[in-house]
Amino acid sequence: MATTYPKCNPTEMLGLLVLLNDHKGSEDVALLADDLDLEIDEIFPALEYAELLQFVKVAEGRVMFTDLGRKLIAASIRDRKVFVREQLTKTPLFRTILRALEANPEHCLTEEEFGHIVAFTTAKADGGEQNIVNWGRYADLFRYDADTRSIRAARHTASTKGGSGPPPTTPGSAGETPPTRKSATKAAEASRGPGAVSAVA
């Protein structure tokens, strides 16, 4: 069965986790939404992505940190990328993308090749490919080359099992514009975390 990768950005997910930490690491989902002045379905994408990456567990309408989630939220803002990167590489989609990049002599994939991988391993969603690229860029796993319209491996892709230190700076990993939706604004204010990754050109 194809995995669903909810459409949200890292700022939204991390902001939600910071808020959860303010609630002592366990809270009713509806109360978290109320704190953000949002409808409950508006926080589902960030919540689902956090659960996908095993930072939280959701049961009977309540969300709580996993041990990994507590380590993530206790880490520095820079080092949170390491946790996100390591968890992304454990998912079937990102693992497949990284293997394909490593197998290519130029460590790149055309948009078409990338699209085939996403379609094969991911449940269909609007803006799905762009969302995947945004997360890959945030975690310094790969980047989008607008000139060649291709996905290219980041410098450390060959050693994605690591995570011993802060990720290197790569083009597109800094200076991104924050998302416009109100949930992301509140999340960014709560976390003061890294900005949302800009969309694929």
Domain with 121 in it: 79-159
Q: What local confidence, expressed as pLDDT, does residue 196 receive?
A: 36
Q: What local confidence, expressed as pLDDT, does residue 128 receive?
A: 82
In Å, the largest CA–CA distance within the chain is 50
Q: Name the residue among 114, 117, 101, 82 with its Cα closest to residue 3.
A: 117
Answer whether 36's CB lies under 8 Å from 19's CB.
yes
3 within a domain of the structure (yes/no): no
> Does 18 share its domain with 68?
yes
30 within a domain of the structure (yes/no): yes
131 within a domain of the structure (yes/no): yes
Per-residue pLDDT averaged across 74-87, rounded? Answer: 95
User: How far apart are the two ends of the chain, measured CA to CA in Å?
Assistant: 30
171 within a domain of the structure (yes/no): no
Amino acid sitting at position 22: D
Per-residue pLDDT averaged across 74-103, rounded? Answer: 94
What tens digit of pLDDT does each residue of 9-61 get?
999 999 999 999 999 999 999 999 999 999 999 999 999 999 999 999 999 99
Q: How many CB atoms lie within 10 A of CB 39?
A: 12
Answer whether 4's CB lies under 8 Å from 48's CB.
yes
> Does 92 share its domain with 115?
yes
d(C-alpha 175, C-alpha 181), whole Å: 18
Q: What is the CATH number of the domain that holds 57?
A: 1.10.10.10
d(C-alpha 141, C-alpha 157), whole Å: 6
What tens digit of pLDDT does each residue of 160-197 get?
344 333 333 333 333 333 333 344 334 434 434 433 33
Per-residue pLDDT averaged across 151-162, rounded? Answer: 60
Is 120 buried (19+), middle (13-18) or exposed (0-12) by CB count in 10 A? exposed
What tens digit of pLDDT does each residue of 49-77 get?
999 999 999 999 999 999 999 999 999 98
168 within a domain of the structure (yes/no): no
Number of separate domains in the chain: 2
Q: Can you give the pTM of this predicted structure? A: 0.74
Cα of 91 vs its chain's centroid, Å: 11
128 within a domain of the structure (yes/no): yes
> Does 101 share its domain with 71?
no
145 within a domain of the structure (yes/no): yes
